[in-house]
């Protein structure tokens, strides 16, 4: 879970430490394959979708740049993959 404070300060250090533990060991990586969900807390009262919030987009883009292993780990049981894709996709106008 990422907090609104982490998102707004673009502080990826703590989440990156946790995410890197998933890729540090083959056994752990296989155990968590498809079992990670993206959860961002603190925007429940914001009427926008998370991918419409510039700070959320910037945060997930930075995390993706630092740790590009999402698609191995993200759950397909929720909309984590869709949210990551929506946040990291380049917008065309």
| CA–CA dist 92, 72 (Å, integer) | 27
Give the pLDDT confidence of 59-78 residue by residue, as tens digits: 999 999 999 999 999 999 99
Give the pLDDT confidence of 24-54 residue by residue, as tens digits: 999 999 999 999 999 999 999 999 999 999 9
Give a yes or no: residue 11 inside a domain. yes
Give a yes or no: residue 48 inside a domain. yes
**Number of domains within the chain:** 1
Please determine, for residue 90, whether its predicted confidence score (pLDDT) is greater than 80: no
Give a yes or no: residue 52 inside a domain. yes
Give a yes or no: residue 93 inside a domain. no
Give a yes or no: residue 54 inside a domain. yes
Residue 61: HSE in the Cβ half-sphere, 13 Å Cα cutoff:
14
Range of the domain at 29: 2-88
Give the pLDDT confidence of 5-23 residue by residue, as tens digits: 999 999 999 999 999 999 9
């Amino acid at each position: 879970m990422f907090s609104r404070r982490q998102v707004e300060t673009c502080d990826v250090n703590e989440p990156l430490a946790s995410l890197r533990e998933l890729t540090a060991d083959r056994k752990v990586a296989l155990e968590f394959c498809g079992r990670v969900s993206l959860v961002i807390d603190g925007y429940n009262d914001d009427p926008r979708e998370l991918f419409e919030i510039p700070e959320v987009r910037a945060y997930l883009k930075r995390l993706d740049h630092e740790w590009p292993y999402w698609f191995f780990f993200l759950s397909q049981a929720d909309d984590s993959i869709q949210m990551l894709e929506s946040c990291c996709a380049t917008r065309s106008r």
